[in-house]
Structure 1
Amino acid sequence: MRGRVPVAAGLAAAVLFIPMASAQAAPKPTIPQAQAKLKELNKQADKIVDDYNAANEKWKKAKAAYDSVNGDYQKQNATVEALRQSLVSLAVNSYQTGDVSMLGGVFYGPDPEATLSGMASLDQLSQTRAQQLKDYEAAIAGLKAKRDKQKATYDDATKSKADLSKKKSTVEKLVKEQTALLKQLGAYNAGNPKSAGITYTGPASGNALAALQFAYKQVGKPYRYGGTGPDSWDCSGLTQAAWAAAGVSLPRTTYEQWSWGASRRVSINSLQPGDLLFHPGIGHVGIYAGDGKVVHAPQTGDVVKVVTLAGYGSIAGAVRP
């Protein structure tokens, strides 16, 4: 019996060497838990992404303004250089060579008075061009200052965009992790970028009808941060495009749309089809479709859809474009 290990003791020893990973692994979250976590993450991301969209719009406008004024500057500069070269040529031809072929007989004509008149004309021509050059140089000096000022604005906008792009990349990394989790749980909706949508049959009329008809045609297309169509949308990209189809120009971001509508806000109790509905924090916006329904682009892992007012969630306020 010597050397034998009691069975109970042997089992106890064996247990000590069993890997503990399976016992320590966190239970896989349920679909509702994963969706709730993703929803919270998107709430956090909404402001950063909206700020990024605003910075991107600011950058595009600043770049367009800079390109325009820089183009004017280059054209004016070319004119100044042409005048300068003309004056140089005149001086060289008149005072350096001084032969008959260059002066056109001005100094060697048979009539002394005509000769003096010709010399005066040359001098007048030179003075006129000199004044033109001074005028152009004065104009281009102001234009250069304007260009440099616009360039500074453009550089600031570019830096702001770069900073926010880093933040957006961080958020997208987290959202990517959640997306992978939703796919693993079978709850990710990739959508169809070419979706034909559905037909709007609600009570809207006028330009609100045109806006909702457009929005309903986007149903089924995927949500994407920064999406402005035609294959994917974010919330404010969808509302902007829908109302553009109705002839109304909205700003790009949810915060800008909320500010734009400061004098157009309406009570939640008096909603009409076409009204913009904003979540608390003004990080999300959808369009009221009438009959207690809302069309919107919800969040990552979802598609443009029509939901009930209850399904849409809390509403901070409404704007009637």
Structure 2
Amino acid sequence: MRIGRVPVATGLAIGLLLATTSGALADPKPTLNQAKAKLQKLNDKADKVVDRYNTATERHKAAKRAYTKLDDRYKAKLATVAALRSEVVSVAVDQYKLGTDPTSWPAMMGAPNPDSLLSGLALAGQLSQERAEKLVAFDRENQGLKAERDNAQDALAAADKERDEVEKERSEILKLIAEQKKLLKKLGAYRAGNPNSTGIKYTGPASGNAAAVLTFAYAQIGKPYVYGGTGPGGWDCSGLTQAAWRAGGVSLPRTTWQQWAWGASRRVPLDQLQPGDLIFSEGLGHVSIYAGGGKIVHAPQTGDVVKVATLSSYGGRLVGAVRP
């Protein structure tokens, strides 16, 4: 009987050994729910990074505009100083050309009569005042030139700094996008979208400028989500809301954070939503447009397209709404 038990014990030991070895060699594949949970975390992270990227981009644009304006002022002042310098030099040269300047002492002393002398003295006083004014103007403009140049250089340095921030955020986004696409393709859920999509017709309850907003937004349905996208071939969430409300006659700032701050005095309770209202997710990583009937239209995230979804698909992750 003992002999019969040995193979059984040995078999159990071998089985346990094989199970342990195979587990060490190959990790179990993630379940569908685990993959979706990971994707949600990636999307949430990407939303925040994209908004930082958009903010850095807007700051870079503003810094470049400030530099261009200051640089133009510097160049204009440089031209003014050059013109004044030429006049001052010309005056100095004339003063040394004795006898050729009608207001020089040799010329006036050779006047044929007292009236001519008095006339020359009056002219000399007038021209001396003009020369003095030119010298003062030259000195003033020359001092301002350095200030304008320094301001322009500071603005350029600020623009370069913001450009570096944009590049930093872009690098992080590209890594996130690669992860998102890989996971979406494994799930069979990747949607490339059509940049030339003509969307669908909006037939909801919106009226007034909100109707124009939703007509525009629905015409973008099917176009791909593109980080930093402001159309017309692709959009990110705040790029879509900004363009849609522009079609409704309202100028919104560019980023989700800026739009939420802009709407500080326009907040509405989530149980009183009207078509056209902007709905913000917790953490301000995402914004959509309420379409009425419990639906929203939005540009979700990488690997998806502008689409209509149910408000409930946000889950309990809403922070509030703004009525532009």
- TM-score, shorter chain, exceeding 0.5: yes
Note the 1:92-131 alignment, pairs <5 A: 92-96=93-97, 98-99=99-100, 107=108, 110-118=112-120, 120-122=122-124, 124-131=126-133
Deviation at residue 133 of structure 1 after TM alignment? 4.1
Distance 2:60 2:257 in 1: 17
Amino acid in the other structure paired with 1:217:
A
Asked whether the 8 Å contact 2:74–2:149 carries over to 1, the reply is yes
Counterpart selection for 2:196 from 194, 202, 222? 194
Distance 1:249 1:140 in 2: 41
Distance 2:151 2:222 in 1: 45
3-state SS of 1:307 partner: strand
Q: Could you tell me which runs of 5 or more consecutive residues in structure 2 were left unpaired when the two chains were aligned.
A: 1-20
Distance 1:39 1:161 in 2: 29
Deviation at residue 175 of structure 1 after TM alignment? 2.0
Note the 1:189-268 alignment, pairs <5 A: 189-268=191-270
Deviation at residue 33 of structure 1 after TM alignment? 4.2
Partner of residue 14, structure 2: none
Asked whether the 8 Å contact 1:223–1:232 carries over to 2, the reply is yes
Partner of residue 91, structure 2: 90
Cα distance change of structure 1 residues 152 and 239 upon mapping to structure 2, 3 Å threshold: same
The answer as to 2:160 corresponding to 1:158 is yes
Note the 1:19-58 alignment, pairs <5 A: 24-29=25-30, 33-58=34-59
Partner of residue 10, structure 1: none
Amino acid in the other structure paired with 1:318:
A
Cα distance change of structure 1 residues 96 and 182 upon mapping to structure 2, 3 Å threshold: same
Asked whether the 8 Å contact 1:39–1:299 carries over to 2, the reply is no
Calculate percent identity across the aligned residue pairs: 57
Q: Which region of structure 1 is more displaced relative to structure 2, 238-247 or 68-77? A: 68-77
Partner of residue 311, structure 1: 313
Paired residue total:
305
Q: CA RMSD in A?
A: 3.1
Using structure 1 for the length normalisation, give the TM-score: 0.83
Distance 1:21 1:172 in 2: 35
Cα distance change of structure 1 residues 287 and 302 upon mapping to structure 2, 3 Å threshold: same
3-state SS of 2:284 partner: coil
Partner of residue 180, structure 2: 178
The answer as to 2:56 corresponding to 1:60 is no
Partner of residue 81, structure 2: 80
Cα distance change of structure 1 residues 134 and 232 upon mapping to structure 2, 3 Å threshold: same
Partner of residue 14, structure 1: none
3-state SS of 1:316 partner: strand
1:235-259: CA deviation from partner (whole Å, max 9, x where unpaired): 0111111111111111111111111
Deviation at residue 29 of structure 1 after TM alignment? 4.5
Distance 2:294 2:97 in 1: 89
Partner of residue 7, structure 1: none
Q: Which region of structure 1 is more displaced relative to structure 2, 199-208 or 162-171? A: 162-171
